[in-house]
Amino acid sequence: MFLFCALHLLEDMEQKVNIILSGVEKLENIFRTIRLDLNNAIWCNETKEVLKDAIGACAIFAMLYIGLSIPNF
């Protein structure tokens, strides 16, 4: 009788542990997805900033070229 009761309790505990572990795996997947989305957003913002800087540098060079090529009066 005791053995049957102990086995039954062990089976219940095993089921509860499996449920908890599956929940932990789901949370890990959710956090992994959030982390990847944040990394993608950061890379996207950095790329935009680099492009803005490059366009600004080109504009400065164009202004210098035009300004220096105008003949002095």
Predicted local confidence at residue 56, as pLDDT? 94
Q: Considering the domain boundaries, does residue 60 fall inside one?
A: yes
| DSSP secondary structure letter of residue 22 | H
- Number of domains making up the chain: 1
- Of how many residues is the chain composed? 73
- Residue 59's domain comprises 45-73
Q: Considering the domain boundaries, does residue 24 fall inside one?
A: no
Radius of gyration of the chain (CA): 32
Per-residue pLDDT tens over the stretch 13-55 = 888 877 877 878 888 888 899 889 888 888 888 888 899 999 9
Q: Considering the domain boundaries, does residue 55 fall inside one?
A: yes
Q: Would the pTM count as exceeding 0.85?
A: no
Q: Considering the domain boundaries, does residue 69 fall inside one?
A: yes
Q: Considering the domain boundaries, does residue 27 fall inside one?
A: no
